[in-house]
Amino acid sequence: MIQLSERHEMRQQARHWRARGERIGLVPTMGNLHQGHLKLVEELSNHVDRLVVSVFVNPLQFGPSEDYESYPRTLADDLRALAGYPVDAVFAPSAEQMYPRGAPATTIDLPALTNTLCGADRPGHFAGVALVVAKLFNIVEPDAAAFGNKDYQQLQVIRRLVQDLDYPVEILGVATVREADGLALSSRNNYLDAEQRRVAAELYATLQEMVAELRAGRRDYQQLEAAGATRLRQAGFSRVDYLAIRRSDDLAAPSPADTELVCLGAAQVGAARLIDNIAVRLID
């Protein structure tokens, strides 16, 4: 496993592999790796000959009052964690390397997917995600890339980005890795104390309850969302950004006839803003 920090080094290495006819995979991360990230590596390794993991805390996807400065940067630990996996290169550039001219003048806007849910509460977040992913695709030129289903809205943004800009990249969505009580693994879980950690598990439990109600035939979506939000507040969440039922492909509000849905939530407990989702297929 080699470590690279400059764009031209990463591009040169990837093109060397490609010249040999090898298929390249990319797992983009912000580091502070946990089993969820390592699951992406495991899954993607089955589809490629060479695997690259990027580690870059992207300033463009953080708002002014968010945790960019305090976001955990643990590259040495990340390298140790990856040593036991089939990773060929770790690309860990600096912000100056990724954005040598400072804040980019170019933006990538997908308003139908990004002006709702997390995008409504974090303006500019998905534009930052889309731009850094586009840059990584241009540098690494992967044949396939893996993203976690936990960040469902992000996954849909990336899929649409690939379609609209004709990137020849297969996007692999990987199932969420959870703790025993259902809490989705996240780097921000490290912010939780013992009591907050107990409260955090209620997000997944609430989504499960919403799915059960949908499977039982309920289609009063707004009432289900409101009841779920009330449950989260009563459980101890300090803020509920949203609890929503959407169509799974385009995140639009569903009609009672839609059968491919996703229940999504974002809520704050302590210093951690947690997100989660459950996809559900309804059969008449």
Task: Cite the annotated binding site for beta-alanine by residue number.
Answer: 61
Q: Which positions ≥6 away from 185 have C-beta within 8 Å?
A: 34, 35, 36, 150, 176, 177, 178, 179
- Binding residue ranges: 30-37, 61, 148-151, 154, 177, 185-188
284 pLDDT band, cuts 50/70/90, is: low
Residues 6+ positions from 138 with CB-CB distance below 8 Å: none
Residue 38: which pLDDT band, with cuts at 50, 70 and 90? very high
In the chain, % of residues over pLDDT 70 = 100
Residue among 69, 37, 58, 75 at smallest CA distance from 176: 37
Write down the domain spans for the chain.
Answer: 2-174, 187-281
Q: What is the Cα–Cα distance from 162 to 180, expressed in whole angstroms?
A: 34
pLDDT at 65: 83
Q: Which CATH class is domain 2-174?
A: alpha beta
Residues 61-110 pLDDT 10s: 998 888 899 899 999 999 999 999 999 999 999 999 999 999 899 999 99
- Reply yes or no on whether the pLDDT at 160 is more than 90: yes
Beta strands in the chain, from DSSP E residues, in sequence order: 2-4, 24-29, 50-55, 89-91, 144-148, 170-174, 239-247, 260-269, 272-281
Binding residues for (R)-pantoate: 61, 154
Report the catalytic residues.
Answer: 37
Taking the whole predicted model, whether its pTM rises above 0.85 is answered as yes
Instruction: Work out the average pLDDT over 124-150.
Output: 97
Is the pLDDT at 283 greater than 90? The verdict is: no
Q: Which residues are annotated as a binding site for ATP?
A: 30-37, 148-151, 177, 185-188
The yes-or-no verdict on residue 123 having pLDDT over 70 is yes
Superfamily of domain covering 187-281: Pantoate-beta-alanine ligase, C-terminal domain (3.30.1300.10)
pLDDT of residue 26 exceeding 80? yes
Average predicted confidence (pLDDT) for the chain: 96
